[in-house]
Chains A and B, each alone.
Chain A
Amino acid sequence: MLVNSNQIMEALIETIQMVGISFIFSILLGLPLGILLFVTRKGQILENTAFFAVLNAIINIFRSIPFIILLVAIIPFTRLIVGTSIGTAAAIVPLVIYAGPYIARLVESSLLEIDDGVLEAANAMGATPWQTIYRFLLPEALSSLVVNFTIATIGLIGASAMAGTVGGGGIGDLAITYGYQRFDTVTMIITVVILIIMVQGLQSLGNTLSKKIRRR
C-alpha cells in the first residue's frame, strides 16, 4: 500500500468538506430555483410562462454538461469567486454549479407531488404567495425534499471524486492517483469501501429523517 492512514484521514476530511460546503451552497441556490420553477408554472400561484421557459432552459443547459467538462470550463469564474483555480475551495464552485440546478429539479419534483387541494385550500384562506410557499408547500414537501436532498448529496460525493483534476483532493482523488494510476489495489479497495460506507450511511440517515417527518 502506497498511502498511510494519515493520508486517508486527510482525504476523508477533504471529501467531507467539499461535499458538506457545496451541499449547503447548492441548497441555497437550488431550493429557491426549484420553488421558482414550481410557482411560475402554468396555473400556479405566480404563473409566468416566459420566466418559467427561460429558467427551465437554463437549468436544462447546466444539467446537460458533464461534471468533468463543467469543472474546467468555468475555471475563470471559479478564480473570480474564490481567487484560485486549484485546491479544495476551487472544487467547491463547480460542484455548486453542478448540484444547484440538479437540486432545483429535485425540489420542483417534490413540490409537484403535493396534492393540488392543499394549494386550493391556501388560496381559499387568502394566503399570500409567500405564505403559500412557507406555510403550505414546504411543510407538505419536506419529507420528500429530505429524500431528494439525500440523493443530491450522494451525487455530490460522486462528482467530488473528479475534483482531483483541479487539485481538490479527497477520497476519490486518492483512489484515482494511487489506486488507478499506480495500480495500488489495496488503496483502491480501502477508498471504495469508505465511499460505500459513506453512501450507505447517508442513505439510511436520509430515509430515517424522511420517515420521521412523514411519521408513518
Chain B
Amino acid sequence: MIEFQNLVKVYDSGGKQVHALNNINLKISKGEIYGVVGFSGAGKSSLIRCVNYLERPTSGKVIVDGHDLSALSEKEIRRVKKNIGMVFQHFNLLNSKTVYANVAMPLVLEKKPKEEIKKRVYELLEFVGLGDKANAYPDQLSGGQKQRVGIARSLATQPSILLCDEATSALDPQTTSSILQLLRKINEEYNITILMITHEMSVIREICNKVAVMEMGEVIEEGTVFDVFSAPKTKTAQNFVSTVMHDQIPQSIIDMIENNNGANNVFRINFVDQSTGKPLLSQLAKKFDLEVNVLFGNITELQGIPFGNLIVEFQGTQAEINRALTYMETKEISFREVKSHVS
C-alpha cells in the first residue's frame, strides 16, 4: 500500500544540511493501522508528508498503491492525493466556511454535482457524529468536534489511505480516546489503511497493529505492536514503552534489592498470552524447596493478548534456585535476572 525505499530528506537550513530522513525503508500493508512514534525532530513529520508529497524526498522512492510518486506528473500526483486523506494536529479547517462547506471542499474541488455532494456530506457528518452541526462554523466547535470535521473532510473522496499527523496531540485524554475509536471504526468499516505519527505511545497501544520507532531520521525499531511493546530492543523504544507499560521497578524496591548485599535472586518473569493463565509461582513453590516473594508486578493487555511481568525474589539454597530456573527454561518461560543497578 505504502512503501518507502531508501528514502532521504535533507533540508537546507541556513547553509547547514539537516538530515530529516536517513535512508528509510518501510512497508505498510493494506488495512493496517500503522503507527510511527518518536520525539519531536525525529523525522516522523517529514516521513508522513512524503506519502502525499507535501514534502518531496531528496532521494529514494515513495510508492503509494503501486505508483512511484517520483515518476508522476504534477497532475497525476494531484490525483493520487485525492486517494489519500489527511488529518492534522491543528485541524486546518477553513474558519470562513461552515462545517458543511469544509467537508464538501474536496468534492467541490473535484467538481462533483451539488446533489451528490450534499448526500455524501450529510452521510459523513452522520458517520462522525456531527449530523446536527452542518451549519456551524469551526470556531463554534470544541477541539474534538473540529477534529471530527477534519476526519469527515479527509474521507470525502473515499480515499484508501488516511494519514494522521499528530491527530490527537491537541486534544484532552478523553477526546483523544473518542477520536481514536472513530479512527478504528473507519479502519474496520471502510478498510482504510491508516498511517499515523504521534509522540504518544498510548495512542499506538490503543489502536495500532504495527509500530515503527524513529530517532534522528532513522527507523530504529519496527514490528507488531505486541512485539515492540513486550520486548523493546533499543533504549528509545524502551523509554517509549515504559511511558505506558509502567514496568519500571519502583526505586524503593531497587533500594531493597541493593540492601540485600548481592544476595540477588531477583528475577523479572514475562508472562505472555497462555502463560498468564498458569499458576507458575505456586508450582515453583510446591515443586522446589523455595519461597517466592513477589516484589512488583504488572499485567496488561496488548492487542487483545494478556501480557505482563512480575519481579520476584526466590529465597532458598542456590542449588534449589538453579533447579527452579532450569525448570522455567524447559517450560519456555521468559525471564531474566534483575541486577540492582539495572531494572
A117-B90 contact given A126-B78, A126-B81, CB 8 Å threshold: yes
Nearest CB of chain A from residue B171's CB, rounded to whole Å? 16
A126-B96 contact given A121-B88, A215-B137, A216-B139, CB 8 Å threshold: no
> Number of B residues whose C-beta is below 8 Å from A?
26
A70 in the interface (beta carbon within 8 A) = no
> Number of A residues whose C-beta is below 8 Å from B?
22
B105 in the interface (beta carbon within 8 A) = yes
A140 in the interface (beta carbon within 8 A) = yes
Q: Are B96 and A213 in contact (CB under 8 A)?
A: yes
Contacts of B82 in A (CB 8 A): 125-126
A135-B109 contact given A124-B81, A126-B81, A126-B82, CB 8 Å threshold: yes
Q: Are A136 and B94 in contact (CB under 8 A)?
A: yes
Contacts of A127 in B (CB 8 A): 78, 109
A185 in the interface (beta carbon within 8 A) = no
Residue of B nearest to A139 (CB): B96
B106 in the interface (beta carbon within 8 A) = yes
Contacts of B92 in A (CB 8 A): 115, 117-118, 120-121
Q: Are A124 and B90 in contact (CB under 8 A)?
A: no
Contacts of A117 in B (CB 8 A): 88, 90-92
B125-139 interface (Cβ within 8 A of A): 137, 139
B84 in the interface (beta carbon within 8 A) = yes
Contacts of B105 in A (CB 8 A): 125, 135
Contacts of A128 in B (CB 8 A): 78
**C-alpha spacing A58/B90, complex, angstroms:** 37
Question: B88: which of A120, A142, A213, A216 is its contact (CB, 8 Å)?
Answer: A120
**C-alpha spacing A215/B91, complex, angstroms:** 20
Question: A125: which of B81, B90, B97 is its contact (CB, 8 Å)?
Answer: B81
A181-196 interface (Cβ within 8 A of B): none
Residue of A nearest to B97 (CB): A139
Residue interface mask A59-101, B partner, CB < 8 A = 1: 0000000000000000000000000000000000000000000
Q: Are B54 and A120 in contact (CB under 8 A)?
A: yes
Contacts of B139 in A (CB 8 A): 216
Nearest CB of chain A from residue B9's CB, rounded to whole Å? 15
Nearest CB of chain A from residue B124's CB, rounded to whole Å? 14
B44-95 interface (Cβ within 8 A of A): 52, 54, 77-82, 84, 86, 88, 90-95
B108 in the interface (beta carbon within 8 A) = yes
A143-B108 contact given A117-B88, A120-B88, CB 8 Å threshold: no
